[in-house]
Structure 1
Amino acid sequence: MTEKMYYKYWGKAKSDNDSGASYHLLPYHCLDVAAVGWQLLAPDKPLCKQLAKQLKVEPEWLRQFFVFCLALHDLGKFSQAFQSLRQDLSVDLVKANPRMSYSERHDSLGFCLWQEILQTKLDEQLLASDSTDSAVNAWPIQLKSWLEIVTGHHGVPPKTNLRTRNFFEVVDEQAAMAFVQDSVEFFLADFDFQPLLDKALKKRLKPVSWQLAGVAVLADWLGSNQEYFIYYDKPKELKTYWHEIALEKAKEAIGALPKIPDVNAFQTIEKLFPFIQQPTPLQEYAIKEPLTEQPQLFILEDVTGAGKTEAALILTQRLMAHGLADGLYIALPTMATANAMYKRLSNVYHQFYQSGSKPSLILAHGARELSQVFQDSVVLAKQSITDGDYLSGQNEEDQELSATAYCNAWLADSRKKALLADVGVGTLDQALLAVLPARHQSLRLLGLGRKVLLVDEVHAYDSYMQKLLNALLEAHARQGGSVILLSATLPQTMREGLVNAFYKGLGQNAPALSYPAPYPLATHTPATAIEQSIDTREAVKRTVNIQRLNNEEEVIAQIKLAVAAGRCVCWIRNTVKSARQSYQDLLDAGIASNQLSLFHSRFAMIDRQVIENRTLEYFGDNSTPEHRKGQVLIATQVVEQSLDLDFDVMISDLAPIDLIIQRAGRLMRHIRDMQGNRIRQEGAKDLRGRPILYLLSPDPIEGADINWLKPDYAGTQAVYQHIGQLWLTAKLLVRRGQFTMPDDARDLIEGVYSFDAEEKIPDALLDGSIQATSKAMVQKSMADLNVLKLNKGYTRSSGDWDEETRMPTRLTEEETISVALAIVENGQLKPYAQAETYAWALSTVKLPSHEWGKAQQQIPDNLKAMIVTLKAEQKALCWVEILPFEEGQVIYSSSLGFVG
């Protein structure tokens, strides 16, 4: 074999102390990645079929051409600048040019080399050939968009405006060209180039390019795994390496991934949820509603306790069994609600799949490593890889039913991979990153591709996140995904926006929706019957009485009466500062410390976990009279969504109407007797008396002026700035004196959020309301600015690309800072959390920047010096701030959280 120049370039290199060959030749790495792509895009797999269907080409054609493109993904490594990164590998390699600086990544270098040099050379060679086939001669110019996809395999599209002469010698260009020629000859022999000349294919490629970019990222990750792709440094014919090594190793690498399990058909609700004796009307709808053969959107609106989650999971299993999905991702508003859903789903998700399979369940959010349940599942996964079984000593069926969660370790090592799991639970943020110009977003979008996207509490997001969610629905519908959205309270304008976004992804005109719409309501589209009025179960039909309280003294008096009667109470405050103060005021008023607890967002993770678990134990579904008696929880918004909590008495600061309805959903949520014992018999009535929601609010007088909420309710106005909506909420509730669910739900929502309702806001409050409306418009504009321009395709100009840590999925009034709490012990800084693993992470609390600024000023100089030393020793702490405190300093406590 005449040795080609491209055998003088390395593609992967080991550190000095690794055994075996010290480097892997570049052409071999290129073939490794292409071989993984060959396996991923098997024509009989749903992924290849779906992509080919969108492109309107044959699956075999797509596989052959895209694998060729993958072989060219690392053309940039033929650069002398890149090769100079390791000059110690071998004298057989190309001599590096030390004058060439590696100042641009090889992914961009490869794309620019193609654009500036290689395409022209290949064109000239084809024109000089004997072929008279115009397609054979003209196809290279159509390769630009495809190479933009594969050269962007590090998660960001390549730059397109680099001067290659600054990075490539002539010999580099010749070596790269030789590799391109041989790749064309090897991969594209007898290939039909005609589809590439179709301008319509180029247009269809743009929306599909995002998923193909995900395939490129995944192929490069797997093709770089030394466990399978051992380094080879001796020249071997490409054809020989491909057949004897690359394809076989790619098969092994793919075989080690979690298998897509076979889906179970939905049988009965009792099979999925043994605790359900009688389906709710919404669950009956989920069981019987006819499905169509295309991606579908469901919006389920019903009262708290109507079984929305179970109904959504029934629909999910049916959609999966219908061949429309292989898995599920549940997106929730907070990490706390995601943790709770993860525990809840771990008992159910196995039923989606056939016996003997091992579907993976992944928790996906920024602090998932701190969830013990998740960590336990990772341990189980690692044991399963080693031992073959993930619960030894049991037969396969028992293992499937007994394991709380099976989590494949490969999927668990990065949140970027988490959406590739069969079933994922996490915050909505992890899914929204799929439509933001954040590194590796394409992998997230690919992971969502064959999944049902289930978004809970869909009303809970601000204008910025709503806009991003609309973009996500559009992208998901375009790639053939179905969506289920859950809400207790959804304004009409929001419902229309969600439907329009989904239909935009389908490339169709959205249907008209009824107004006013009935409630409860199931919206299913595309479908024969788009909107169906749903009854709700008798147990959650109830009237909640409203009693307004003028001031905090009245609230404290009401709490003392409830505690004396042995009732459990929750007071939801709108700010952390007011929650802390009320906690202290209740202690001063004589409430015993063992009867009082505080729950807000400024606790260190280790304390927050304890508080969250205690809250669920004392006030959750299985709470006992012994736990509940005379207990008081002072909380912020952390308890108003998705947590299954039940209080005898609910007191709420004034908030927008949808949040008041949410908070009221935690009032006498479960059926209990007078002592607080759970009653589970069908048809039973709650014996605790009339549910009363106490509303801390000023009188919503007609002549309210701009100071209506000030000074006593300034915190409320700071959080909920649309003062007109607050006034409308108070006016509605106080005037009615009660509301009945579900009958009044739609009137309440539209009575605050409709255009007609806004006309009733007093003139003096309009300025503040207009400012809030303007702010919402600014948030939408920010979302429009940040969100990917998906119609442009996978290209650098589709967004302002950055690392995901700097890509906001939420907008906040003020930047928050991650601060690790440290205690001073024997002249050293130790993590506040006493834990064997993740001690520093468990010691972390998020603080508003102004709070951190004040605390930082109080750190003595000697402790600042210790912080510098600590960060030098603990590299992971470079990304967080450190707040040390000594004994006697009241900066932080496990009962109050951060106090400053």
Structure 2
Amino acid sequence: MTNDGRSEPWAAGLSSAARVVWAKHDFDTNDWLPLYRHMADSAAVATLLWDEWLPPQVRRLIADALPGGEDDARLLTVWLCCVHDIGKATPAFAGQVDVLADDMRANGLATPSRKQLPDHSYAPHGLAGQLILRDWLVTRHGWTERATHQLTVVVGGHHGVQPTNTGILAADKRPALLRTPGNEQAWLDVQHELLDVAADRTGVTPRLAAWRDAKLPQPVQVLLSSLVITADWIASNPDLFPLFPNAGTRSQDPVRTREAWRLLDLPAQWRPREPPGTPAELFATRFALPPGANPRPVQEQAVEAARAMPAPGLMILEAPMGEGKTEAALTVAEVFAARSGAGGCFVALPTMATSNAMFDRFLSWLAHVPGMPQEAASVFLAHSKAHLNEDYLALMGGGVTLDLDRDGGDDRDSTSLIAHRWLRGRKKGMLASFAVGTVDQLLFMGLKTRHLVLRHLALAGKTVVVDEAHAYDTFMNTYLDRALTWLGEYGVPVVILSATLPARRRRELVAAYTGDHGGHDHVEQARAHPLITTATPGAPANVLAPPASGRGTDVLVEPLADDLDTLGARLTAELVDGGCALVIRNTVARVHEAAAHLRDIFGEGTVTVAHSRFLDLDRAANDADLVAAYGPPGRGADRPARHIVVATQVVEQSLDVDFDLLVTDLAPIDLVLQRMGRLHRHPRGDDQAERPERLRRARCLITGVDWTTTPPDPVRGSRTIYGAHVLLRSLAVLRSRLEARTDAERTVRLPDDISPLVQDAYADDDALIPPAWKDEAEEARTAHEVTHVVRQEKADVFLLDEPKRPGRALIGWVDAGVGDADDSHKGRAQVRDTAESLEVLVARRSTDGTVTTVPWLPDERGGLELPTHTAPPSDAARALLASALRLPYQFTVGAAIDRAIEELEADMVPAWQTKDAHWIAGELVLFLDENDRAELAGHHLHYTRTDGLKATRAE
């Protein structure tokens, strides 16, 4: 079991006691790995990570904190990775495996068994390593204890949670866990011997004195911690770094490291270059503009503003719907990345549906971006339903080869986009170079969780684009602001997009990123639209007002009584010559009610339903069908001659759909304007001549309100979702148009009226509130303010602190956190103020007991048998997993959720809960009968492919 060191450079000169201290053990094979070997492996991996993988943006930040610049940064990183497991050279750790502890005892290290150390949990090896390294720096290199903390906490937190002061004090009071009483010197000698060798082998010994007075900013400590974890995970993989004694030729450097790195095959990061040429030339090459087409003024000025900034920083881009904000943001991200040394890009969106819609556009952009790695670039779709996205599945199945322009010229080359096997999953996925996903992935950056440092490393090396910034509530904005604060500290370039951003919110975003909460009055006072705001920490923010593109829509606004007969009669009149109408309701119940009534009038085939209460695959198909039927002209789809889509807010954002007429429930003004963005979105003939004659003027009918009361009273479902205050403010800013008698007075001009309407609606004053509304408005405002405070306090509970002064250690950084975070509904609820919900998988069970997937699933996934005596085949299990459905709110109120879970658990299939059924183990399954009905928690459930799930209370 011992190694004499003659064939192992790292072991040469080590005492026999130091050579038998162990780090890894496999109980099945009894294979093991000496600690010195794991130290060497970790150092070798860290060297390769620094030299071949880490983006310059991250390297520079660490280098700027050290007296020797990048040379020091590389040395420090490699050394910390090397010594991170020194806490395993302790009796508290070594006594876990008797056979290995016996060898240590035989070499002079008294090692009690784990049973003899009942308080061993007070010194987990990470914390033990922090204390050992502290003592070594103090006694061997003259550091003060306080000065050591900023480095030793990196070792202490390498399992994802930084030790607390209380934990450090408790471990210090139990010295027997670090060195056996009566044998302290032997243990101390081995610990220091291993640390001395590590310092010599990594080359840090001459630099330790120079680092004594360094003050490492907390962001640098975070990055060092995340690099230690990354190197440890790679070096701990026995497939890459085999255990002894069966490692063969892969038992030592350099063969061991070279082969491991080859097998890992970690894709290199993006190496962007400053894109040359005018904005028009740049957009033409990135987005294949048709001949003669030019970017819009806001797109051109966004690029010019990015180039003019003193350093990459924050850009807030406000422009109307359909103005090409996404293309502008990606182009600015490329400029920022080239100037900052970013190694990738992350685009954050409000929902999974909007993320999926963006993913294809993102991949298309990557095909035209120079600087991609020679062999492959890593891509990640960052949400929990990524396995349902066909584009992402293709990347997981071996990658997609792109023909691309590496140099910005005519010479073409190719690379592959892959979802790399190591760069997947909840903790590592965001380390991929390029990612699209829900904004939760960014919000988690401000949430106290395990392995938070990895999320910080992932984002610290990228440019970040945040789309639909207006779509986030108080709770989410709290986490977004804290994430922006850390991104600003890292120097990460950020582009924020919105069509309808309140001015106060614009100022808050600038303040969060720059860390300067004073000033910025001019940022909040700006009222132009489009608007570009740029900011870098330590410099005044700039505001630019590009000219409008000339594209615009005049929308006639009028109230519509909230009864179904009125709705049906109005649509009958408006669609008499054909046309496509969109009816948006704020609740699913109102969607079903309206759709049923309209089908009685227009027929089943003329009314389509879209909302969130569909199976995952069905909802994805619904979105695709909407874009195919109502997308831009010239896409080859047949637009229906006459059709009505009744939908919830799912059509509000990121779906490029275009309707002739809009009927919408009252909503906050910014969302009403977003909905108007689906109205006459694209030109259809000169002066819209290809639309039915009576629908060539865009009209928005606002309903969901009792117009006979003072003030008008929004329906209860809308008040529940949005609150009475913001709905009354929305009514107030639209009041003059809703009460007008002429078309000119009723017109909302897009984009000219977007900013005035939004800013007035979200202003602090009540100047627009009619005197007759005063009492109700004051009551609504008070309730709104109370709710805001409650949500703010709720968000603050697990909110990460802002970065402390340089030199302040990360001790207790995520203390009292939430544990792990992921993009499940439970995980998202940690950064969104959402009610608990219940998700089920849906299958069909026949009267003879046969269970199958529902029959209508696409791509031959429907009707697959699901055996109940064993784990289903993987294709059937994946099809079932793609049939997830979120149950409506009535199953989450009070005791209803407990009753529903109890009934679902009673119906669980035991064979589906085994490790062989890993795709679906732990999931709740709702079994529909042959008529697609079920009973659950006192409700009748009925699912149809056309309408999704309906739930009615049983009598």
Structure 2 residue 927 is matched with structure 1 residue 884: yes
Whether 1:725 and 2:729 are equivalent positions in the alignment is yes
Does 2:567 correspond to 1:558? no
Task: Say if 2:658 is the partner of 1:615.
Answer: no
**CA–CA distance in 2 between the matches of 1:755 and 1:842?**
46
Classify the secondary structure of the residue corresponding to 2:523: coil
Tell whether 2:905 aligns with 1:870.
no
- For structure 1, which segment, 146-155 or 256-265, has the greater mean C-alpha deviation from structure 2 after superposition? 256-265
User: How many Å separate the matches in 1 of 2:451 and 2:569?
Assistant: 54
Which of 428, 434, 440 matches 2:451? 440
Out of 600-609 and 560-569, give the one that drifted further.
Answer: 560-569
Candidates 677, 683, 696, aligned match of 1:689: 696
The structure-2 alpha-carbon separation of the partners of 1:377 and 1:207, relative to structure 1 and needing over 3 Å to count, comes to closer
The aligned runs of 1:445-844 (5 Å cut-off) are 445-504=456-515, 512-513=522-523, 515-526=525-536, 530-538=542-550, 540-553=551-564, 554-587=566-599, 589-622=600-633, 626-673=638-685, 689-698=696-705, 703-704=710-711, 708-709=712-713, 713-723=715-725, 724-735=728-739, 736-757=745-766, 760=769, 762-792=774-804, 794-801=810-817, 802-805=819-822, 807=827, 808-825=829-846, 826-827=848-849, 829-832=851-854, 834=861, 836=875, 838-844=878-884
Letter in 2 for 1:8: V
In structure 1, the partner of 2:312 is: 295
Q: Answer yes or no: is the 8 Å Cα contact 1:700–1:727 preserved in 2.
A: no
User: 2-side partners of 1:89 and 1:109: how far apart?
Assistant: 17
Q: Report the alpha carbon displacement of residue 576 of structure 1 after superposing the two structures with TM.
A: 1.5
CA distance in 2, matches of 1:224, 1:875: 24
Alpha-carbon deviations, 1:554-583, whole Å to 9, x = none? 222223334442211111111122112222
CA positional deviation for 1:141: 5.3
1:899 aligned counterpart, secondary structure: strand
Structure 2 Cα separation of the partners of residues 701 and 215 of structure 1: 64
Question: Contact 2:479–2:831 (CA<8 Å) still a contact in 1?
Answer: no
Q: Is the 8 A contact 1:670 1:678 kept in 2?
A: no
Query: What's the counterpart of residue 899 of structure 1?
Result: 950
Paired position in structure 2 for 1:375: 393
Shift of 1:233: 4.3
Deviation at 1:463? 0.8
Q: Residues of 2 paired with 1:897 and 1:252: CA distance?
A: 49
Q: Which residue does 1:143 correspond to in 2?
A: 148
- 1:176 corresponds, among 191, 194, 206, to 191
- Which of 437, 440, 443 aligns to 1:429? It is 440
CA distance in 2, matches of 1:411, 1:824: 38
1:518-567 per-residue CA deviation (whole Å, 9 max, x = no partner) reads 222111224898111122222x3121100210113222222333444221
Pair 1:753–1:255, CA change in 2 (3 A): same
Equivalent-residue separation in structure 2 for 1:859 and 1:815 (angstroms): 13
Percent identity between matched residues is 24
Q: Which residue type is aligned with residue 258 of structure 1?
A: A
Aligned residue in 1 for 2:159:
154
Of the three residues 886, 891, 895, the one matched with 1:846 is 886
- How far 1:718 sits from its partner (Å)? 0.8
Question: Does the CA-based 8 Å contact 2:75-2:204 persist in structure 1?
Answer: no
Q: After alignment, is 762-771 or 558-567 more displaced?
A: 558-567
Aligned residues of 1:356 and 1:400 also touching (Cα < 8 A): no
RMSD: 3.8
1:64 alignment partner, one of 59, 67, 75 = 75
SS of aligned partner of 1:39: helix
Report the equivalent of 1:263.
273
CA–CA distance in structure 1, aligned partners of residues 413 and 654 of structure 2: 26
Matched, 1:281 2:303: no
- How many residue pairs get matched? 857
Displacement of 1:669 in angstroms is: 0.3
1:331 to 348, 362, 367: 348
Cα distance, 1:624 vs. partner?
5.8
Indicate the residue corresponding to 2:357 in structure 1: 340
Which secondary structure state, in structure 2, belongs to the residue aligned with residue 598 of structure 1? Answer: strand
Letter in 2 for 1:440: H
**Is the CA contact (8 Å cut-off) linking 2:67 and 2:210 kept in structure 1?**
no
Change (3 A) 1:207 1:391: closer
The 2-side partners of 1:280 and 1:295 are apart by: 22
Look up the equivalent residue of 2:567 and give its one-letter code. V
Once residues 245 and 669 of structure 2 are traced to their aligned partners in structure 1, the CA distance between those partners, rounded to angstroms, is 68
Once residues 107 and 673 of structure 1 are traced to their aligned partners in structure 2, the CA distance between those partners, rounded to angstroms, is 74
- Please say if residues 85 and 129 of structure 2, whose CA atoms lie closer than 8 Å, have aligned partners that are also in contact: no
Report what 2:22 is aligned to: 10
Q: Which runs of 5+ in 1 are unaligned?
A: 127-135, 680-684
SS class of match (1:65):
helix
Alignment partners' CA distance in 2, 1:880 and 1:769: 42
Change (3 A) 1:98 1:355: closer
The separation in 2 between residues aligned to 1:83 and 1:651, in whole angstroms, is: 70
For each residue in 1:828-871, what CA deviation from the matched residue of structure 2 results, as whole angstroms up to 9, or x when unmatched?
65554636262232121223564266588579979825445533
- Aligned in 2, Cα 1:100/1:757: closer, same or farther, shift over 3 Å? farther
**SS of alignment partner, residue 543 of structure 1:** strand
Q: Is the 8 A contact 2:586 2:648 kept in 1?
A: yes
Q: Once structures 1 and 2 are overlaid, which stretch shifts more, 511-520 or 812-821?
A: 511-520
Q: Which moved more, 1:519-528 or 1:836-845?
A: 519-528
Q: How far, CA to CA, are the matches of 2:80 and 2:158 in structure 1?
A: 12
Residue 401 of structure 1 and its aligned partner are, at CA, apart by 8.1
| TM-score, normalization by structure 2 | 0.81
SS of residue paired to 1:804: coil
1:52 equivalent in alignment to 2:94? no
Cα deviation digits, residues 200-256 of structure 1 (max 9, x gap): x33x432321222221221112222334322234999xxx98854566457647764
Q: Give secondary structure in 1 for the equivalent of 2:326.
A: helix
Change (3 A) 1:373 1:106: farther
In 1, the alpha carbon distance for the partners of 2:664 and 2:763 equals 24
Q: State yes or no: 1:310 paired with 2:320.
A: no
Q: Distance in 2 between matches of 1:677 and 1:343?
A: 32
What is the distance in 2 between the residues matched to 1:29 and 1:677? 73
Task: Determine if contact 1:55/1:205 at 8 Å carries over to the other structure.
Answer: no
**Aligned partner of residue 568 in structure 1, secondary structure:** strand
Q: Secondary structure at the match of 1:531?
A: strand
For 1:24, the equivalent position in structure 2 comes to 33
Residue 379 of structure 2 contacts residue 432 of structure 2 at CA under 8 Å; is this kept in 1?
Answer: yes
Q: Distance in 1 between matches of 2:422 and 2:16?
A: 39
Q: Deviations over 1:683-714 (max 9, x none)?
A: xx99951100111043667942xxx536xx11
Q: In 2 relative to 1, CA 529–89 (structure 1 residues): closer, same or farther, beyond 3 Å?
A: closer
Q: Is the 8 A contact 2:123 2:177 kept in 1?
A: no
Does the 8 Å contact 2:707/2:713 carry over to 1? Answer: no
- Are 2:350 and 2:471, in contact at CA under 8 Å, matched by a contact in 1? yes
Q: Which amino acid aligns with 1:38?
A: T
Q: Using the alignment, how far apart are the partners of 2:145 and 2:244 within structure 1?
A: 31
Structure 2 gap segments, 5+ residues each:
5-13, 106-110, 740-744, 863-874, 934-940
Q: CA deviation at 1:66?
A: 3.3
